[in-house]
Amino acid sequence: MNQADFLRQMSHADVLLSQGRFEQAEHILIRLMATGYEGPELMKMMAIAKAGIGEYAEAEELCQIILSKHPDDPFIFYLLATIKGTERKYKKALELMEQAISMEPSNADFFAFKSNILLQMKEFNQALACADTALELDAENVDALNARSSALVSLGRKDEAYQTINKSLATDPNNASTHANVGWGMLHHGKSADALVHFKEALKVNPMNEYAKSGMLEGMKARFPVYRYFLMIMLWLGKLKGNQQWAFIIGGYVLYRILIGIAKSNDGLLPYLLPFIVLILLFFISTWIFSPLMNLYLLTNPYGRLTLTEDQKQSARLVGAALGLSIVFLLAFVFIKNDGLLSAALLSFALMIPLGSMNNPYFDFNRKKLHYFTIGISTLVVLDCVLSLIAGTFFSNLYFLPVLSLIGYQWYINYILIRE
């Protein structure tokens, strides 16, 4: 391979990386590295490709090799920070970015990425300050403008966020990340129709943009008014830090128990308290099953089928099956007065909670844990249903086992999701 051909292929790989086509870039880079050339630029590109296809250990190993020869290269610290950020190790990513910035404090991209890390850590004021620093260095840095807009949305400063995102669009009207960012901002304010316009634009520019794809799904579901307001609440909850989310969950549970206790001891207050008790119960149930039920609906939509991930399709189908089974048991109870059928209907409905949420975690190992947990709960539910139907009673001798396991599952998945 002559030098001109080498440089041409290297340039082609660089373009593929910028387009997010990491596997294709990797194939080219493997051929180039096979020539024996091991320059830092080629190794950097391979590290980016490896990180892009999810081979983080290999990408980090390449970065460490480069650092052993070029310990003062700030880009490698930046690259390592992106890898740690993808792995959701945000504290480590932040440390690496601070090292990169200490080496090259005039790099606006470094400050913009640090701002994005702080956004993930929900340190919104710090993220805003960091984005502002990036914009002082480069007033038209799109990543910094997007980070600033996201921080302002999270801080409730809507007018400033609107001005910032308009500047970002004016600077680069075809930037997929900007359009996705605008779309999510619209969803925060319940403007699902406007959000869909921007998500479609983002996917037109970059069909592989995951942020835009997930936004498109939520936007399609948010066309239903009930889900739209539910989504706004969930987005608000998503801004809270882990300890604040736990406070909300525990506070809601304590309030639920207090209201039930008051209602039991004061029959006259029951009609007034019952709506609040039901609303709290429905809200917590809906956090697990509402989204997969809407995904089940999207399976009937050709565009929805293309946008849903395989995990989302699986959860939607399983939730649909559990709901269908619950309805069948309930209808059977109308004609066959067997209390076991009523128990089976209720537990089948409750089974929608683990089936609809077991694929929610980001990391594979956490999803596997929840899959095993769900299999265990399903086994207990089936066993209890069989015993209840045989005995013709609502409560079998094992009824407490599936109930306790379902309660335990909800606390465990909250722990996993908040920790992630």
Express each pLDDT in 153-190 by its tens digit.
889 888 888 888 888 888 888 888 889 988 988 888 88
Q: Return the pLDDT at 271.
A: 85
Alpha carbon of residue 269 to chain centroid: 41
**CB–CB of 192/198 below 8 Å?**
no
What stretches of 121-266 show up as alpha helix (H) in DSSP?
A: 124-137, 142-154, 158-171, 176-188, 192-205, 210-221, 225-238, 242-265
- SS3 percent helix, strand, coil of the chain, rounded to 5, is 80, 0, 20
Q: What is the mean pLDDT of residues 240-261?
A: 89
Amino acid type, 25 = A
**Domain-located, residue 70:** no
In the chain the first and final C-alpha atoms are separated, in Å, by: 46
**Domain-located, residue 376:** yes
Q: Return the pLDDT at 328.
A: 95
pLDDT (tens digit, 9 = 90+) per residue, 70-93?
888 999 999 999 999 988 899 999
Reported pTM? 0.80
On the question of pLDDT at 257 being above 70, the answer is yes
Q: How far apart are CA 25 and CA 45, in angstroms?
A: 9
**Domain-located, residue 207:** no
Cα dihedral across residues 225, 226, 231, 233: positive or negative: positive
Three-state secondary structure call for residue 57: helix
Three-state secondary structure call for residue 115: helix
**Location of structure tokens 């869909």:** 196
Q: How far apart are CA 112 and CA 114, in angstroms?
A: 5
**Domain-located, residue 290:** yes
Q: What is the mean pLDDT of residues 261-286?
A: 86
Residue ranges making up the domain that contains 401: 240-419
**CB–CB of 402/396 below 8 Å?**
no
Buried b (16+ CB within 10 A) or exposed e, 31-69: ebeeeeeeeeebbbbbbbbbbbeebbeebbebbeebbee
Q: Which tokens sit at 274?
A: 């019952």
On the question of pLDDT at 53 being above 90, the answer is no
Q: How far apart are CA 39 and CA 314, in angstroms?
A: 45
| Residue 362 CA: distances (Å) to CA of 53, 273, 339, 342, 417 | 15, 38, 40, 36, 8
**Domain-located, residue 382:** yes
Confidence band for 105, pLDDT divided at 50, 70 and 90: very high
CA-closest candidate to residue 164, choices 177, 175, 155, 151: 151
pLDDT (tens digit, 9 = 90+) per residue, 322-377?
999 999 999 999 888 899 999 999 999 999 999 999 999 988 899 999 999 999 99
Q: How far apart are CA 417 and CA 43, in angstroms?
A: 35
CA-closest candidate to residue 417, choices 318, 287, 232: 287
Q: How far apart are CA 180 and CA 199, in angstroms?
A: 5
Confidence band for 1, pLDDT divided at 50, 70 and 90: low
Q: How far apart are CA 380 and CA 50, in angstroms?
A: 42
Domain count, the chain: 1
Q: Which tokens sit at 239?
A: 């801004």
pLDDT (tens digit, 9 = 90+) per residue, 187-234?
888 888 889 999 999 888 888 788 888 899 899 998 888 888 888 888
Phi and psi, residue 364, nearest 5°: -60, -40
**Domain-located, residue 59:** no
pLDDT (tens digit, 9 = 90+) per residue, 134-148?
999 998 899 999 999
On the question of pLDDT at 420 being above 80, the answer is no
**Domain-located, residue 130:** no
**Domain-located, residue 305:** yes
Q: What is the DSSP letter of 268?
A: G
